[in-house]
Copies of this chain bind each other. A is one copy, B any other.
Amino acid sequence: MNFDINKALEILEQTPHTLDSFLGNLSQDWINNNEGRETWSPFDVMGHLIHGEKTDWIDRLNKTLSTNDKHFVPFDRFAQFEDSKGKTLRNLLDEFKQLREKNLSYLKSLNLTESDLAQTGIHPEFGEVTAKQLLATWVTHDLGHIAQIARVLAKQYTEEVGPWTAYISILNN
């Protein structure tokens, strides 16, 4: 598919609702278990998504559209461990929903044209990237973390499925 802002919005708008349906009624061990040392639990992933809403996507979009400061701030992939302290998963689901709504409302208000989408910013590693690439990445980043959460949950039952591990490929990723 070619990038289309309205189709990108379809995905970006569903994510908070999907995550709420997916995680909102699960008990603590589903939410807090991870895949082993230095991996993330669904709770950690929610904190990471919140950090992106606060510091990353819109700030970077503004930099692609800006005429002076084009340099993206490197993303802190560990900020959530501090930021999520003392919060419940319900807090995180609600906070993510509010931040995402606010950010998409801002994005829609920009009424981006094809020419805006071709504007560029400077990524700390990749160099020049376009607004369109940034927005497409926001979409796939959501989807990647939904898949990650599904995998982390599934792996809690790796032992319990017995011989079926051979058929359930998510357990072998």
Least CB distance from A45 to B in Å reads: 12
Interface status of A1 (Cβ within 8 A of chain B): yes
Determine whether the beta carbon of A129 is less than 8 Å from that of B162.
yes
User: What is the count of identical protomers in the complex?
Assistant: 2
Which residue of B has the minimal Cβ distance to A157? B136
- Residue in A3, A127, A143, A162 whose Cβ sees the most chain B Cβ within 10 Å: A143
Query: Chain A binding site: helix, strand, loop or mixed by DSSP?
Result: helix
Q: Which of chain B's residues have a CB closer than 8 A to the CB of A162? A: 126, 129-130, 133, 136-137
Number of interface residues of A (CB under 8 A): 55
Residues on the B chain within 8 Å of A137, using CB: 161-162, 164, 167-168
In the complex, whether A10 has a CB less than 8 A from a CB of chain B is yes
